[in-house]
A and B are shown apart, each in its own frame.
Chain A
């Protein structure tokens, strides 16, 4: 694809544009299994620069793929048609903290943990916190409608978006939303941008709600011999009206993996459940924890430990925080791939789904860990396989087909918090065909030349394995 590098250099400055192979190759992939080369990388610093890049790209019909940390797991930022990757990490200023209005104004490249570090002295926090919060940018979190361990109480990114400035495909800048907690003033277009994976516009500034930090947090962990019991305990905690600020599941495969990778010495039981309560009144937190503890015990949960102490809580949680990467260490010769990794299911289906995942994996010669923010219905898995064997990718294809058929049959969703991108598109399209024409019309209205992150979600190829090169060297 012909890109006028001189033009881009003029817009952002010579040192912020690259078409050398070292950069192109690195920006060709993210944390997914996909890989496709862009034609140029550009790193704007201002809204005006973003606008000028879009004007140039729109005029010349060049795809533009906005990118934050590149930690997405479904291939959202993989430039399937080439074009310009727009790295927004340099727009990383926290513009305003307004405790009196309980909001912050940030540029899209601000890192989640950094925002929380800046908010802590005010006694405030920004709750969505995906596991990748140490590098994930607010722009990327908006694009994926990210959420994390605290979503069970605090919700997802969408629940914090108040307003935003967005550069459209033609370079126009629009102001969306409000500075208020609620608004009923026209279409909620800012909400439409949430989860749009960079296909509708480029978020160049976001106004996000924040919350007071609770005075007390108590984290507990319970062991279960049977995965099914752990799943049932979680379902009952939710349906009993408890108010956990975290409710996590981790199966034996996960426990073994973190023990191997991080030497944590966890007891290798069938599953563990982590549950946390927070609040400003200690008795209220005690009450919630005690209630959840009793439910765990009713479902054969044992060896329950709990702590209010930050150091102790961090220790209890460390295995879960690093589980995703640690899964690569589960067994020699197999690695962890980001496929079918974040289904959402109704609360009553958690135990059944967890069991089903293990059953499907076993039948198809792959290993799958089950973990996740099950309190919000999010079930994470990873498909662990030998990436160099062609037959293993066939196995993965079968697993994915079977698994999503099951998830959709129980009323679940394809992706709860990572987004559709490329690898989840075939399953999602199969389940949600009725949404596709509406989404295409919206896309066409906002991006008639189809230049913003094209061929993703509803327009992604129907075969994820062949949608792009796989990032692994696949042999015979």
Chain B
């Protein structure tokens, strides 16, 4: 086990004492909602950091993995009544662990060197400057990830043209998982007209901890993604093919997205709509709209309006669209 002195984390000891461990941060944590272990909550992470600093626990692979599992949505630190800067503490703990030489995975992106063409698309879109090219020899460099700076937002994963960037599955945010969730919703509820991807950052209050599947059946299904910038076109195509009458993407308003993922989503959807036209599918079946935190009433109305519109359009005639699309 590497030796470690937690010099950055130790400066937060007073803040760690301020955390009264009320646990109110659970409500807001998307990671806890998908994993359900208390060790995945912001409170759990602070406890683990506190325990490591004071020597009660040693950093094991399991603990380190928990510390590197976070999407930095900052719902916890923005809403902590005790004002504990959860994500700042987490970043310093990560830096201490990386410096000590720990191998980490968590929600940090991984690059498959064999697939990566070093085109640099990912580097220009990473707001956190977590990706860079490391020169290896005169002909070839390789893209490397700064594991402290990577926020796990997943924009690079959705944008990589070679599919070389991946993230560990299990937190319900990777493309295959979002696809699986969409298929599951459409399978479970045959009455479902619209699939709505909403951004965790702006709209977390819509997420509930409890389930009442037998009671509430809506003509739409909601999937929380970590950022609208994660919504790749294939997700939307898959949903339409599997029975959705339309797909709505709800993102943060311009200037409010932490990673500028909303602009990327919008650009992608414009292109996608053009393709839909070619396939003889009405482009208005795909919609993107902006919502700020606290605008759940506006969201709810927008979803109702969208469902009404889809009901007028009726289901997609896949046979026709396939013939025309060739």
Contacts and interface: CB of A to CB of B under 8 A. Distances in A.
Interface of A: 18, 20-23, 25-27, 29-31, 41, 43, 69-71, 87, 89-90, 92-97, 109-111, 113-115, 117-118, 132, 134-135, 261-262, 322-329, 333, 335-338, 387-388, 471-473
Given A18-B37, A26-B39, A325-B81, A93 B213 contact: yes
Contact of B82 (A41, A95, A326, A473): A326
Contacts of B22: 31, 71, 132, 324-325
Interface in B42-84: 43-44, 47-48, 51, 54, 56-58, 60, 62-63, 65-66, 80-83
A25 B14 contact: no
Contacts of B44: 26
A335 B17 CA distance: 7
Contacts, number: 143
Instruction: Say whether chain A's binding surface is mostly helix, strand, loop, or mixed.
Output: mixed
Nearest to A262: B81
B212 A111 contact: no
A387 B54 CA distance: 14
Closest A-B pairs by Cβ, 8 of them? A325-B81, A322-B81, A114-B210, A94-B212, A328-B82, A325-B82, A328-B18, A26-B39
Interface stretch (B23-31, B102-110, B225-233, B317-325): B23-31
Interface of B: 13-14, 17-24, 26-27, 36-39, 43-44, 47-48, 51, 54, 56-58, 60, 62-63, 65-66, 80-83, 208-216
Nearest to B84: A328
Contacts of A26: 37-39, 43-44, 47-48
B81 A30 contact: no
A114 B208 contact: yes
Instruction: Say whether chain B's binding surface is mostly helix, strand, loop, or mixed.
Output: loop
B295 to A, nearest CB: 13
B57 A25 contact: yes
A93 B211 CA distance: 5
A31 B23 CA distance: 8
Given A20-B60, A69-B23, A114-B208, 8 more contacts: A22-B48, A25-B39, A26-B44, A71-B24, A92-B211, A94-B212, A109-B210, A135-B27
Contact of A335 (B18, B26, B27): B18
Given A26-B44, A93-B210, A135 B24 contact: yes
Contacts of A323: 81
Contacts of A338: 20
B23 A23 contact: no
Contacts of B212: 93-94, 97, 114, 118
18 contacts: A22-B48, A23-B37, A25-B47, A27-B38, A31-B21, A43-B37, A93-B211, A93-B212, A94-B211, A111-B209, A114-B208, A114-B209, A135-B209, A322-B81, A326-B83, A328-B82, A336-B82, A337-B20
A97 to B, nearest CB: 6
B20 A87 contact: no
A31 B210 contact: no
Contacts of A94: 210-212, 215
